[in-house]
Structure 1
Amino acid sequence: MPLTNTTRQYGGLTKTFHWLTALLILTALPLGLIAENAPYADGEQLARKAMLFSLHKTVGIAAFFTAILRILWALTQTRPGLLNADNRLEAFGAHLVHWLLYGAMLMVPLTGWIHHAATTGFAPILWPLGQDLPLVPKSETLAHLTANLHFAFIIVLGLSILAHVGGAMKHFVIDRDQTLQRMLPGRNTAPDPMPETHSRAPFVTALVIWVVALTAGVVTGLGTDKPATTAQLEAVPSDWQVQEGTLSLSVVQFGSEVTGSFGNWTAAISFDETATDGRHGDVAVTVAIDSLTLGSVTDQALGADFFDVAAHPTANFAADLMAAEQGYVAKGTLTLKGMTVPVTLPFALTIKGDTATMQGQTTLNRLDFGIGTNMPDESSLGFPVEIEVTLTAMRG
């Protein structure tokens, strides 16, 4: 069997690309569906769900690169003509489905890959080349958008596969011609194809369908941003008014670091450069838990097994600001998910005139607050949670 195509036969390499692509796509699709619906009530179930998603992503990327090679090879080859080119409607449908499949083979895994790169945490791609993509930022908005585009393009892919398989079965069962056999291994007895008048109509129609799918994905994607915070925090009186700041956290999940932040918090700060008995002042911080963004695991983190935002919408940190050997330390208690635990937060502070900049870090143990008790070991979720605070405040 020759490797290259002829006007009446597909070559061995074209057949290999065809069936390899089919195998990868028909593996990735059910893996994604099973992973999406898999439960995650405990650590074992979550680990299984993550592995299913990792396999889905890895197979999808393999399908993407296989599709690129297949398309590049097809550009160098003669395309065997249709055996039923005299049936214009069927010929139009065959060419339309092929254009849709070529687009789907690229766009479905690409949007999934961008979604993965735009978010953090949960189910890494099983390869050594990293989890990020050049020019793709970590962005909740981009992640939502590409997730919806991925779903819209999967619909096009699924319908195209059904049409493609249905057409092949019609040729085999009803027409009894050699259309299907031409793509099977070995030689076949296909006759010379009939003369065919090529038209741009299938390509243009495929473009229209892709534009519709793209529009649907964009419209639904832009409408799925994280809802506004429900725990409304009132302004608090403070000797130092926070102008800007971040309250971030990071934890290791399945061997990969997941980072996030709380977008809504207040701080009542009393601080004097001159210490009294080593004490410079105090701070009271209130955090709206539902303002958390934590990549692809945000919804899970807010659930009852973790932060349980429905029952515990806020966290509170109250501490004295003390001098330390290097810099300062906030020494007090953190009340989170109904549990109060002593916490020490070392921080560096620079004051210029009436402007203060602060940066501090500490490490918490999630189990101290009853977070993720359904994951009692670190194989799926690490115990340490790194907390980092940065802020700029004005006196008065």
Structure 2
Amino acid sequence: MSLANTKTAYGAVTRSLHWLTALGILIMIPLGWIAHLSPWATEAELATKAQLFSVHKTIGVTLFFLALLRILWALSQPKPAPLHPERKAENIAAETVHWLLYMALVIVPLSGWIEHAATEGFAPILWPFGQDLPFVPKSDSVAETAASVHFLSQWLLVASLVLHIAGALKHVVIDRDGTLARMLKGASAGTPSAGHRVFRPLLLALAAWAALIGGGAAAGLFASEEAPEAPKLEAAQSDWQVTEGTLGISLVQMGKEIEGSFADWTAEIAFEPRETPGKAGDVTVQIAIPTLTLGSVSKQALGADFFAAEDYPTATFQAEILRAETGYEAEGTLTLKGAEVPVTLPFELTLDGDTASMTGSTTLDRRDYAIGGSMADPAQLSFEVQVTVALTATRG
């Protein structure tokens, strides 16, 4: 049994790669749709959904490397001669479908991998080599673009797969030739010829991909899904004006830390430094909840069972600024999702004339605000949510 191809037969390596790829596709495609359509309203359903996606992603990455190996091997091997060289149009169509399949077997898993690497949390790839990709930043826009390519390209993969199978069946049922036998058991068939050109099929395959991606862009499939409309926060009438700052949160989902932040918030600050313990001022912070980004679960986080951004678009933290024995702290109430809960935020303060810089953090319990009520298992979604604040303000 020859490992390499000949001019009339496929070798054992080519046939093994072909059938391993076919098996992977037949598992990956239905598994992806089952994972996509499976519910996640309860802890058990979410755990099942995450596991399905993890297996789907792991098979996808495996197929990506298998496809690269298959393409490299194919480029190094002679391609067995077509059994019907006189059927030029049919041969060009078959070769075009082969190129479509090769491209799909790279683009479909790679786009899914890029989407995964650009986000944080939920359904890791089941391997020890990490979840990131070089040159792929953590970015919602990158993830959304990759997701759109993944969605579109899977349909071209399905279409080219159907055409490929239909062609194989035609050779068996209608032509009754040795095409399938060559791939099943390495049978020799056909007459060696001077070769055939691949440029036209390659160009046709590239044109099909360009039409697919261009059509998706024209249809708006690359547009970001709209979040709940964010309220317009009024400018704070403050003794201290915030010139730059971040308001972030972090939590643990499925054993992995996820970090996010609110893009729009204001702070009304009245503050006078003091050296002894006591009240040093007041602060009121308004937060536009729909401006939260939280990796791959941003949409889920804004939903009714979590922040309920449509019904509760703002949160407010009103507090006194107190000088404590070891520094400062803001002690007050956080109003979020209709709940009012006492919160203390310790922070470090650096003063340089009329410029103040502060960093602080505190831990909230999401259950106090009825956030993620269906997620009662902290192993799936931590009860503790770390809130971090960093800002620079000038007296004005």
Does the aligned pair in 2 maintain the 1:145–1:217 contact within 8 Å?
no
1:192 aligned partner, one-letter code:
T
Q: What's the CA shift for 1:25?
A: 1.8
3-state SS of 1:286 partner: strand
Once the two structures are superposed, what CA deviation does each residue of 1:196-219 show, in whole Å capped at 9, x if it has no partner? Answer: 542521111111112223334555
- Please say if 1:190 is aligned against 2:196: no
Match of 1:181 in 2: 181
Q: Does 1:208 align with 2:200?
A: no
* Residues in 2 aligned to 1:212 and 1:300: alpha-carbon distance in whole angstroms: 32
Q: Which residue of 2 aligns with 1:80?
A: 80
Please list the CA deviations of residues 21-44 of structure 1 after superposition, one character each: whole Å capped at 9, or x if unmatched.
111122111111111111111111
Query: For the residues of structure 2 that align with 1:273 and 1:326, how far apart are their CA atoms?
Result: 14
Deviation of the 1:190 alpha carbon: 2.8
Take 2:157 and 2:294, find their aligned partners in 1: how far apart are those partners? 30
Aligned residues of 2:277 and 2:322 also touching (Cα < 8 A)? no
Q: What is the distance in 2 between the residues matched to 1:165 and 1:40?
A: 35
1:372 & 1:5 partners in 2: Cα distance?
Answer: 57
Distance in 1 between the 2:277 and 2:49 partners? Answer: 54
How many angstroms apart in 1 are the aligned matches of 2:196 and 2:162? 26
Separation (CA, whole Å) in 1 of partners of 2:325 and 2:208: 66
Moved more, 31-40 or 218-227: 218-227
The yes-or-no answer on 1:120 pairing with 2:120 is yes
**Distance in 1 between residues matched to 2:339 and 2:30, nearest whole Å:** 42
In structure 2, do the counterparts of structure 1 residues 56 and 101 end up closer, same or farther at CA, with 3 Å as the change threshold?
Answer: same
Q: Matches of 2:172 and 2:152 in 1, distance apart?
A: 31
Report the counterpart of residue 244 of structure 1 in structure 2.
Answer: 244
Q: Which amino acid aligns with 1:131?
A: Q
Deviation, structure 1 residue 327: 2.6
1:356 Cα deviation after fit = 1.3
Contact 2:276–2:323 (CA<8 Å) still a contact in 1? Answer: no
Q: How does 1:217-228 map to 2 (within 5 A)?
A: 217-218=216-217, 220=220, 222-224=222-224, 226-227=226-227
Asked whether 1:133 is paired with 2:160, we answer: no
CA drift of 1:227 comes to: 4.6
CA gap of 1:335–1:240, structure 2 versus 1, over 3 A, is same
Equivalent pair of 1:349/1:356 in contact (CA under 8 Å):
yes
Q: Contact between 1:247 and 1:388, CA under 8 Å: does it hold in 2?
A: yes
Q: 2: distance between equivalents of 1:12 and 1:291?
A: 55
Mapped to 2, the partners of 1:89 and 1:277 lie a distance apart of 88
SS in 1 for 2:273: strand
Corresponding residue of 2:3:
3
Which secondary structure does the structure 1 equivalent of 2:86 belong to? coil
TM-score by length of 2: 0.95
Q: Which amino acid in the other structure matches residue 205 of structure 1? A: L
Give the AA of the match of 2:39: P
Cα–Cα, structure 1 residues 277 and 256, in superposed 2: closer, same or farther, change >3 Å? closer
Report the secondary structure of 1:180's partner residue. Answer: helix
Answer yes or no: is the 8 Å Cα contact 2:82–2:190 preserved in 1. no
Report the Cα distance in structure 2 between the residues aligned to 1:174 and 1:196, rounded to whole angstroms. 25
Q: What code does the residue aligned with 1:202 have?
A: P
Residue in 1 that maps onto 2:145:
145
CA separation in 2, counterparts of 1:106 and 1:316?
Answer: 48
Deviations 1:289-328 (A, max 9, x none): 1111111111111111111122221111111111233331
Percent identity (aligned):
52
Which one is further off, 253-262 or 306-315? 306-315
Partner of 1:304: 304
Mapped to 2, the partners of 1:240 and 1:73 lie a distance apart of 66
Q: Is the 8 A contact 1:252 1:382 kept in 2?
A: yes
> In 1, distance between residues paired with 2:306 and 2:11?
56
Match of 2:273 in 1: 273
Which amino acid is the alignment partner of residue 96 of structure 1? T
* Contiguous gaps of at least 5 residues in structure 1: none
Which whole-Å CA distance do the structure 2 matches of 1:305 and 1:290 have between them?
A: 14
CA distance in 2: counterparts of 1:216 and 1:126, whole angstroms: 34
| Matching of residues 14-25 of structure 1 within 5 Å | 14-25=14-25
The whole-number CA distance in structure 1 between the counterparts of 2:186 and 2:195 is 23
Unaligned stretches of 5+ in structure 2?
Answer: none
Describe the shift of the 1:293–1:340 C-alpha distance in structure 2 as closer, same or farther (beyond 3 A): same
SS in 1 for 2:212: helix
Q: Secondary structure at the match of 2:281?
A: strand
1:333-372 to structure 2, matched below 5 A, reads 333-372=333-372
Matched residue count: 395
Query: Contact (CA 8 Å) 1:86, 1:196: kept in 2 or not?
Result: no
Whole-angstrom distance in 2 between the partners of 1:373 and 1:236? 33
Specify the alignment match of 2:89 in structure 1.
89
Q: 1:68 to 1:189 in 2, by over 3 A?
A: closer
* SS in structure 2 at match of 1:206: helix
Is the partner of 2:27 in helix, strand or coil?
Answer: helix
Q: CA deviation at 1:250?
A: 0.8
Structure 2 residue aligned with 1:232 = 232
Q: Which amino acid aligns with 2:105?
A: M
- Larger displacement relative to structure 2 (247-256 or 335-344): 335-344
The superposition leaves residues 334-392 of structure 1 with CA deviations (integer Å, 9 ceiling, x where unpaired) of 11111111111111111212211111111111112111111111121111111111111
CA distance in 2: counterparts of 1:369 and 1:63, whole angstroms = 43
Secondary structure of residue in 2 paired with 1:243: strand
Question: Do the aligned partners of residues 218 and 124 (structure 1) sit closer, same or farther apart at CA in structure 2, a change above 3 Å counting?
Answer: farther
